[in-house]
Copies of this chain bind each other. A is one copy, B any other.
Amino acid sequence: MWLRVSCKLAFNIELSTPFVLMLRPRSGEEQWIERDEFKIAPNVPITEFTDHYGNLCQRLVAPKGNFSIHTTSDVKTSEFVDVDFDAPFVEIKNLPNDILCYLLPSRYCESDRFNELANAITANVNPGYSQVFAIEEWLRTNISYIPGSSEYPISAIEVNYKLSGVCRDLAHLGIALCRSLSIPARMVVGYLHNLYPMDMHAWFEAFVGGRWYTFDATQTGIKGGYVSVGYGLDAADVAIFNQFGPVAHSLQQSVSVIQIKN
């Protein structure tokens, strides 16, 4: 399916402020960007680089006053996410070298503290995809998804204590649980078609059966329409913007996803 995704951010900046943005989806195996626009106003100098994880990052110094960013892309992505309950657990010794880092604990995914819970959730479940599915189901049942309920990222431990969270929070707990079972897992931020209320979204992927599979405890039923903007260990790696210095309050963040073709 073809989606037109768009994000508009507007700030009022008190003091000239450096930003690192992650707002340009890139083409890869899973999605193709046919058209892409990235506009800033005023038109200050901007550069782009690629981080560790292959994400496109934009750097600029926002000037004092009103500052806005408007990105839009036409993306071909899958209408359905792949599902395979038979995808087996990949033994550590068979994991590709560049997947190993997704087993490590990270800022918001303290996987080193979740072994007991993960084992309880996945008792009597076949190793692999089915374990991750059990985790996803457990999150759906036990952690209330409350969009807009938190401003800044909290960690899996905090989410598990609070028992509710935004999409990012559910993903953090899902990732921590997977990794504690030695299943590589990573965070994805991006867009989701028909998300309600519409906003930037976050979900996670787990590596089973030799490839990455998409999981999203905020949604019921398994659908597609995902557009990835950034991959990383957790929200620390995939902030759609990092700003440095006095906090620049976002005046506006509007996101849209519309289907433009089949």
Contact = CB atoms under 8 A, between A and B. Distances in A.
**Residue of A97, A109, A242 with most chain B CB atoms under a 10 A cut-off:** A97
A244 B49 contact: no
**Residue of A104, A153, A244 with most chain B CB atoms under a 10 A cut-off:** A104
Contacts of A104: 107, 236-237, 242
A50 B34 CA distance: 17
Interface residues of A, number: 52
A37 interface: yes
Given A104-B236, A107-B106, A107-B107, A48 B28 contact: yes
A64 interface: no
A109 B106 CA distance: 10
Interface of A: 18, 20, 26-29, 32-39, 43, 45-52, 54, 56-59, 61, 76, 91-93, 97, 100-101, 103-107, 109-110, 112, 152-153, 182, 236-237, 242, 244-245
Given A57-B100, A182-B244, 12 more contacts: A18-B92, A26-B48, A27-B48, A33-B36, A35-B35, A50-B50, A52-B101, A61-B93, A106-B106, A106-B236, A107-B110, A112-B153
